[in-house]
Copies of this chain bind each other. A is one copy, B any other.
Amino acid sequence: MATNETLYMRLYYDIRRRIQTGALTVGERLPSKRSLAQSMGISVNTVDAAYAQLCAEGFVVSRERSGFYVCQIDELARPEMPQEAKKEPPLSDKEAEIDFSPSGLAADLFPYATWRRLMKNAFNEYDETLLKRAPAQGDEGLRHAISSYIWNARGVRADVDSIVVGAGSSDLMQILSFILPGQWTLAVENPVYNAAYRFFEAGGHKVLPVDVDRHGIPTEPLTDLDRAVVYTTPSHQYPLGFSMPISRRIKLLNWAAAGTERYIIEDDHDSEFRYGGRPIPSLAGIDESGKVIYMGTFSRSVSPALRIGYMVLPRPLLERYRECWQGLPSAVSSFDQRVLREFMEGGHFERHLSRLRQRYKTRRDELTAALAPFGKELKIVGDNAGCHLTVKLTGGMSQKEMCGRAMDRGVKVYPVSDYFIGEMDPIYESKVLLGYGGLTSEEIKKGAALLLQAWSTT
């Protein structure tokens, strides 16, 4: 039995088809509703619904006190159908038994129960702002928590109103590229871990890769640059692993202080994890000229799945941001911002960090111990911070061979050459990264033993 609903749809489709095939021609008047209803033995309401739909979609037009007329509609171009899309390539192509991934993390330490409880508490119907669009700069409570964290942990004094929360450092780099007026130069330390410098290129700015020396990014190539931003990871150069000494830090700050349109992006990506002595003070903490854009992320300290990072904007850039970002939303889920705020305010973040630090230090110790049999054939750098070591084979084996021989034994290691913009300087040959954050003690021992076999040249 046909309902009114399907009857009107059938009538609509039928007339539409007749218009599209040319059986009804442009300007032709449709039969009046009443006569059509009568001739088809259906109700006027049904015809009315079909005509209304044809009208709404623009197949016919209604002229007052006259009727419905067929509209002029061009023929639709119908070229060959494109082929099916290919599948998105997987994040890692080969499956290794033991993966020394520098982005590995200790998922088992994540406080699942706490996080679930905080989610449940945060997500309640009595909070009138919960479902609304959050302020573009981020949840104010979260910014308070970040401000107090970076002051205590990194000596960075940041007004809550100068903090911008973004969807990770990649989103923050997009925001910076957007708000810098006209063409700027982004001087990027080379090698560099963060591919987000490419947003600057796409944003019409110039990207200038500057090769690091053993103290970090040198200031000589910057001397004559203005309208320039330097991107650097002074606490822990990634991938090379060293930290920038105070002398270079001051040179860099003084370079920035010498011009009004000069800034430094300090990406303090893994400063939470430092295993010996006090943390290296941040650039932003000693900056007296308001030139440092301090950038941090919760990717490693909470989870990369969360997509939350933050930056502290110097005053002129903050004003520029306010001007440019008007009407544009934040990219960050405000649900997650609330939970993270509670996680920080409740002291859970500090406790979680200290557990992670303990774990990663243990793994670092286990890995360096397991690599000891290499003796002088393997140099280790960057073992005092983060979640990976940079190792260099002194025998001169190429990175490609190192990775290939390891993979033959089911072990994945990461060549530093992946992080270079352009050609890698041959002095970095034989260097690979060994991440230990996601591995168990057993995997580390087994992996290191396999590497000993793999890289043995005798």
Contact = CB atoms under 8 A, between A and B. Distances in A.
Interface in A295-333: 299, 303-308, 314-315, 318, 322, 324, 326-333
A305 B288 contact: no
Contacts of A112: 123-125
Q: A72, A110, A277, A303: which has the most chain B beta carbons within 10 Å?
A: A277
B318 A81 contact: no
A305 B161 contact: no
Given A79-B288, A119-B120, A305-B133, A246 B58 contact: yes
B333 A307 contact: yes
Interface stretch (A36-44, A251-259, A350-358, A393-401): A251-259
A253 B195 CA distance: 36
Copies of this chain, how many?
Answer: 2
Contacts of A69: none
Contacts of A277: 49, 52-53, 56
A71 interface: yes
A107 interface: yes
A250 B161 contact: no
Contacts of A204: 202-204
A117 to B, nearest CB: 9
Interface in A53-107: 53, 56-59, 71-79, 81-91, 103, 105, 107
A248 interface: yes
B315 A56 contact: no
A211 interface: no
Given A124-B112, A132-B305, A329-B304, A58 B245 contact: yes
Contacts of A373: none
A29 interface: no
Contact of A123 (B12, B53, B115, B161): B115
Contacts of A91: 133, 135
Nearest to A418: B327
Interface residues of A, number: 115
Interface in A146-166: 159, 161-162
Contact of A253 (B76, B167, B202, B329): B76
B82 A195 contact: no
A103 B133 contact: yes
Given A195-B327, A278-B9, A130 B305 contact: yes
Interface stretch (A171-179, A407-415, A423-431, A443-451): A171-179
Given A135-B91, A315-B83, A167 B123 contact: no
A147 B429 CA distance: 46
A243 interface: yes
A59 B243 CA distance: 12
A92 to B, nearest CB: 11
A439 interface: no
A404 interface: no
A276 interface: yes
Nearest to A12: B278
Q: A215, A324, A328: which has the most chain B beta carbons within 10 Å?
A: A328
A257 B79 contact: yes
Contacts of A280: 56-57
B58 A289 contact: no
Contact of A336 (B116, B315, B322, B333): B333
A199 interface: yes
B56 A288 contact: no
A126 to B, nearest CB: 10
A123 B131 contact: no
Contacts of A120: 116, 119-120
A253 B84 contact: no
28 contacts: A9-B278, A56-B384, A57-B280, A59-B246, A71-B245, A73-B246, A74-B247, A75-B250, A76-B253, A76-B288, A79-B257, A85-B318, A107-B128, A107-B130, A110-B131, A116-B123, A119-B119, A167-B167, A168-B331, A170-B331, A171-B171, A178-B202, A203-B203, A307-B329, A307-B332, A307-B334, A331-B331, A336-B336
8 shortest A-B CB distances, which residue pairs? A58-B245, A77-B257, A167-B331, A195-B327, A204-B204, A305-B334, A85-B162, A78-B288
